[in-house]
Amino acid sequence: MDYDHIVIGAGISGLGAAHFAARAGHPSLVLERSERIGGCIHSHRFARCGDFWTEAGSHTGFNSYGTLLSVLEDLDQMARLTAKDEAPYRLWRNGRLAKVTSALHPLEAAVSLPRLFTTRKTGASVAEYYGRGIGRRNYRDLLGPAFQALICQPADDYPAELLFRRKPRRKDVLRKFTMPTGLSEIPTALAGQADIEVRTGQEVVAIVRDGPGYRVQLADGDELGCHYLTLAAPPNVVTRLLPDDLAAAKAAVGTVGMAEIETLLLAFRTSDLDLPRLAGLISVDDAFYSAVSRDYLADPEYRGFAFHFRPGALAPEARIATACRALGADPAKVVEVAQVANRLPALRKGHQAIVEQLDAELAGGRLAVTGNWFYGVSLEDSLSRSRQEHGRVFGEA
């Protein structure tokens, strides 16, 4: 065989899988389709703004991310955890900024809240569970838009149990953190390890079984063999790549949708913005789901924002105008613009049955499948799946 372990996809799930394998004595080759590693972790540097960066995707780690923290300990990166300054989120509704609490219906919340403790989360959609637990009007005006802002896609049909998973917090670690030059430091540190080789610009187009191992076919016609294989790509790619003998799993994974997100990044000179510091915007009725600011790590010269737009809602120029309106900014004052395509799985009620079908067919084999579509979309959800698959395939806890 050419390689012991090949991983397809250099997002946090794939690099995490390579990390766990490499530390257990299985050198790993990671093949990444794009020219950049990190996937949804993407700290974008604005070329005309010195070192100033803004997160185009993932922006926050928490002290409840036990797997991520253990990986950062392995990498000797804990000293780089950087606190995020507190700032408020604002609602963007009817073309105006408002306090988040302005959308709350307190009486309805008080009457409904006890139901949150008696309503079953498992098997319920977000709208069903939270609509009951906090009241229909509170869900419509506040929680629904907030959840949609969080997962950058319509949230009503999302499985309630996958939105927030209770995870123990580590009291010795900052409650929420970033890194000094953005979260992209994490994939960079993972990929820089001795027993991990990462090749970018390598799209895998097919997988075939080869005895107990696998052969991986690349878009450029190359073919590589391996003893162990980890698929760490979105579900639409996994369904294409799964070997044909996993037919039922292939069909089940094929039903998982993907949400496209058109992310607009804007940088301004601090002096050109007359806007109080803010964490971000929750949009109730505009063409974007949410905006996340870089204000949590103040820069003396610049402020940056990532606006996450609904797919196809607006042309690029109109997106800039919309974002500037929400920020109360003059579009002529934008120093730099970048457009980034983000994608997240669009999970639906009943998703657990798809995972169970896949896991049943993977059992006993050397093929691992990981990603942000098993336990939820967070960095921790992604990494915990990678660690669990590592234990199953390599036989280590």
Q: Which residues bind ligand FAD (CB under 6 A)?
A: 8-14, 31-34, 39-41, 57-60, 152, 203-204, 232-234, 237, 261, 308, 342, 344, 371-372, 377-379, 382
In angstroms, rounded to a whole number, what is the distance separating the alpha carbons of residues 373 and 256? Answer: 9
Q: How many CB atoms lie within 10 A of CB 142?
A: 23
**Closer residue to ligand FAD, CB minimum distance, 55 or 128:** 55
CB 210 within 8 A of CB 223: no
* Least distance from ligand FAD to the Cβ atom of residue 369, Å: 11
* Least distance from ligand FAD to the Cβ atom of residue 326, Å: 17
CB 182 within 8 A of CB 40: no
**Closer residue to ligand FAD, CB minimum distance, 30 or 131:** 30
C-alpha angle 317-323-324 in degrees, rounded to nearest 5 = 90
What phi and psi, each to the nearest 5 degrees, are found at residue 99?
-65, 145
* Least distance from ligand FAD to the Cβ atom of residue 379, Å: 4
* Least distance from ligand FAD to the Cβ atom of residue 200, Å: 9
**Closer residue to ligand FAD, CB minimum distance, 261 or 393:** 261
* Least distance from ligand FAD to the Cβ atom of residue 354, Å: 16
CB 287 within 8 A of CB 309: yes
What ranges in the chain are assigned the alpha helix state H? 12-23, 66-74, 106-116, 126-134, 136-138, 144-151, 185-191, 235-241, 247-253, 316-327, 351-362, 379-394
**Closer residue to ligand FAD, CB minimum distance, 125 or 384:** 384
How are beta strands 367-369 and 223-231 bridged, if at all?
Answer: parallel
In angstroms, rounded to a whole number, what is the distance separating the alpha carbons of residues 4 and 209? Answer: 15
- Per DSSP, 161 falls in state G
**Closer residue to ligand FAD, CB minimum distance, 50 or 88:** 88
Task: For 272-294, give one letter per residue: b (16+ CB within 10 A) or e.
Answer: ebebeebbbbbbbebbbbbbbbb
**Closer residue to ligand FAD, CB minimum distance, 84 or 136:** 84
Helices and strands of the chain, counted as H and E runs:
12, 19
**Closer residue to ligand FAD, CB minimum distance, 33 or 319:** 33
* Six token digits for residue 270: 């601090």
* Least distance from ligand FAD to the Cβ atom of residue 170, Å: 15
* Least distance from ligand FAD to the Cβ atom of residue 302, Å: 20
**Closer residue to ligand FAD, CB minimum distance, 268 or 373:** 373
* Least distance from ligand FAD to the Cβ atom of residue 179, Å: 12
